[in-house]
Amino acid sequence: MTEMREIIFDTETTGLSPDEGHRMVEIGCIEMVGRMATGRTFHAFFNPQIPMPPEAERVHGHSDAFLADKPLFHERAEDLLAFLGDAQLVAHNAGFDMRFVNAELARIGIAPIPMARVVDTVAMARSKFPGSPASLDALCKRFGVDRSHRVLHGALLDAELLAQVYIELTGGRQIGLGLADDSAEGQANPSARPNLFPAIQRPHRLPRQFSASAAELAAHQEFLAKIKQPLWLSKR
């Protein structure tokens, strides 16, 4: 049986709605197969061709100067779609991310990705923990996912955190989630990829044998002989 391929992803944008002209400026994707990270990632920044609102820059830190030399979306669209393939997509508050992804695709005449392919981890969390906070930060805290290195939002970093949360939401922790190096060296040499969540190596130990010695058995019988009217000999 072929194990399911899933893409955990997140986006950063210039605002809250593509209907108001806001654009996607970053996307980060992590490939998982059989609920285990493979080490393959896709990460890209985009020049939105509009000024970055200060309130959005405070969230993710991407300034106009930083994005000025980044490619336009259409220049990386083919690479993105090739990476996504026909995998199931997983996002936190998926409707938000998918509106931006599909708006960018629409701008270049590509059909939208159907929401039927997308799993929303906010909906999963609200179903599993009704009445509890369902933000990514809250779920990281609930599941003990380390987010101390998350000063600002970032698409690949948030996808990494979400991948760990998603594993917990779907049945339990798996040791060994790792992010690949996006560089050419990382793609060519898998051993060069940083493993942010290395598997714990524990020494193999043989089963311990527990049995009483002859002296211990004799002492036990001597102790039992001193008990007057033991309950296990009484009639019921």
Longest Cα–Cα distance in the chain: 92
Q: What's the CA angle centered on 11, arms 5 and 13, to 5 degrees?
A: 160
Length of the chain in residues, anyone?
236
Average pLDDT over every residue of 140-161: 87
Total domains in the fold of the chain: 1
Residue 152 has pLDDT above 80, yes or no: no
Range of the domain at 141: 5-192
For residues 56 and 24, the answer to whether their CB atoms sit within 8 Å is no
Tokens at 201, concatenated: 């190596």
Question: Which residue would you say has higher pLDDT here, 115 or 191?
Answer: 115
Quote the DSSP letter at residue 68: T
On whether residue 43 sits in a domain, the answer given is yes
Residue 59 domain flag: yes
> Domain for residue 186, yes or no?
yes
Judged against a pLDDT cut of 50, whether residue 72 lies above it is answered with yes
pTM beyond 0.85: the answer is no
**Residue range 157-212, pLDDT digits in tens:** 999 999 999 999 998 754 444 444 444 444 434 343 344 444 444 455 555 556 77
User: Would you call 42 helix, strand, or coil by DSSP?
Assistant: strand
- Annotated active-site residue 149? The verdict is no
**182, part of any domain:** yes
Output 190 or 25, whichever has higher pLDDT: 25
| Residue 81 forms part of a structural domain | yes
Does position 43 have pLDDT exceeding 90, yes or no? yes
Res. 54: pLDDT tops 90: yes
Instruction: Please state, in angstroms and rounded to a whole number, the distance separating the CA atoms of residues 162 and 11.
Output: 12
Kindly name the residue from 22, 153, 204, 220 that is annotated as catalytic.
Answer: 153
Residue 116 within a domain: yes
- Residues whose CB is less than 8 angstroms from the CB of residue 134 and which lie 6 or more positions away in sequence, other chains included: 122, 125, 126
Examine residue 82 and state whether it is found in any structural domain, yes or no. yes
State the chain's mean pLDDT as an integer.
85
By mean pLDDT, which of 27-31, 65-69, 139-143, 205-209 is the weakest? Answer: 205-209
Q: What per-residue confidence (pLDDT) applies to 227?
A: 80
Residue 208 lies in a domain: no
Q: What is the CATH number of the domain that holds 115?
A: 3.30.420.10
Q: Could you give the CA distance from residue 38 to residue 178 in angstroms, rounded to a whole number?
A: 8
